[in-house]
Amino acid sequence: MAQTDVMPVSMEIGEDYPEIRDAVRKVCAPFDGAYWQKLEEDDSYPSEFVEALTSSGFLAVLIPEAYGGSGLPLRAASTILEEIHAMGCNAGACHAQMYIMGTLLRHGSEAQKQQCLPAIASGELRLQAFGVTEPTTGSDTTQLRTRAVRDGDDYVINGQKVWTSRALYSDLMLLLARTTPADQVARKTDGLSVFLIDMRAARGNGLEIRPIKAMVNHNTTEIYFDNLRIPASSLIGEEGKGFKYILDGMNAERMLVASECLGDARWFIETATRYANERVVFGKPIGANQGVQFPIASAYAEMRAADMVLRRACALFDAGQPCGEDANMAKLLLSEASWHAGEACLQTHGGFGYACEYNVERKWRETRLYRIAPISSNLILAYLGQHVLGLPRSY
């Protein structure tokens, strides 16, 4: 592409998409702390919350208008997730739909897109489950062992996935499996393929889903494939190119998760500030003490700086320019910023921070996850060190 053909990059520094932000706040308002506490007590899925987001069209903002969505930029989706978390809610029950559908949109056949995207946009179908991580390979995706073997007009799948959240509440699953054995490929990233599986037909016919009890109510599961037979038309794109297809959507995933971290940080800082102003000890608000005030102020500064990196990453993505460095930095910096804000908020509340009614401990547990998933802070640092700074590969 000639330099004159590069789309210019512009970045808002104020509250962009104000109408969308206001609409998200209105949708989230009824789902207060008591709602999320009850979900945790029952270990249940926030069906009403997901339905409210779906009917409002927020989960379809990245789907093109031709397929029933809004066709908005990634930055619009970023502001939606930010506001959801800033309102004290959690988008983990449905956020995957925003970035999973990108693989289908960019690499699926027209028939696949016509069949699935309009139904996903309307809420008729839910695409929430993403089967990648395995118990023995973790983040080393190229070494996954789940196999998909071509058999006539079908593929037969055997293997296991873990930490596949929302599988019990999803109609479709995006699955990464090996179609060519690792010892038969030139590069370890070759021979992996992506499939779109209809779990409604698969459950009980070679697919088993088992819930995993976890510290955070993310409705996560492990999945077992035992000679699951799926039609060859389930393959997305070309066989053996799946690793590239998955990587293609990871920058968007990084930015959208960073947006949730930004919303969490805002919630923590606003909650801590309010409590520090209202809580009076020894005749004055506790916020007058520098030991309380400074950690909150430091978290605010860290959040604002990280927010600018996220905005830059989104601007580059929407302009079609390389954004891997900024996307990874945004996820790293905002996951750290939200955690530090959570620490400041919990410490500000003292013992009351552990009381469920304040919702601080719930949000504190939720935001801690983002330093680990969907990619850990250490892996991002390794990416920056090796691929951005040119440092030697670690062993």
Alpha-carbon distances of 229 from 153, 203, 207, 221, 233, rounded to whole Å: 10, 11, 9, 21, 12
Distance of CA 184 to the CA centre of its chain: 33
List average pLDDT for each run of 10 residues in the chain, which is 395 residues long: 60 91 98 96 94 96 96 97 98 90 94 96 94 85 93 98 94 97 92 97 96 90 98 97 90 96 98 98 97 98 98 95 96 98 98 96 97 94 96 83
What sign does the dihedral 326-329-334-337 (CA atoms) show? Answer: negative
Res 306: pLDDT: 98
Res 12: pLDDT: 83
Q: Give the CA angle between residues 349, 342, 328 to the nearest 5°.
A: 175
Kindly give the pairing relationship between strand 127-131 and strand 172-178: parallel
Give the position of tokens 């990453």.
313
- The CA distance from 265 to 160, in Å, is 35
Helix (H, G, I), strand (E, B) or coil at 7: coil
Q: Write phi, then psi, for 163 (nearest 5 degrees).
A: 55, 40
Secondary structure letter of residue 204 according to DSSP: T
Secondary structure letter of residue 393 according to DSSP: P
Q: 278 burial class (0-12, 13-18, 19+ CB within 10 angstroms)?
A: exposed
Secondary structure letter of residue 386 according to DSSP: I
Q: Which domains does the chain have, with CATH numbers?
A: 3-125 (1.10.540.10), 128-240 (2.40.110.10), 244-388 (1.20.140.10)
- The CA distance from 161 to 190, in Å, is 20
Tokens read off for 318: 């929407």
This prediction has a pTM of 0.94
Percent helix, percent strand, percent coil in the chain, to nearest 5 = 55, 15, 30
- The CA distance from 283 to 129, in Å, is 53
Q: How many CB atoms lie within 10 A of CB 134?
A: 22
Angle between helices 96-107 and 110-122 (to 10 degrees): 160
Contact status, residue 197 vs residue 172, Cβ threshold 8 Å: yes
Res 1: pLDDT: 38
Q: Give the CA angle between residues 17, 22, 25 to the nearest 5°.
A: 125
Render the burial of 29-57: b for 16+ CB within 10 Å, e for the rest.
Answer: eebebeebeebeeeeebbeebbebbbeeb
Contact status, residue 264 vs residue 342, Cβ threshold 8 Å: yes
Contact status, residue 321 vs residue 8, Cβ threshold 8 Å: no
Tokens read off for 243: 């690793």
Q: Give the CA angle between residues 20, 23, 27 to the nearest 5°.
A: 135
Q: What is the largest CA-CA distance in the chain?
A: 79
- The CA distance from 69 to 73, in Å, is 12
Contact status, residue 148 vs residue 178, Cβ threshold 8 Å: yes
Res 327: pLDDT: 97
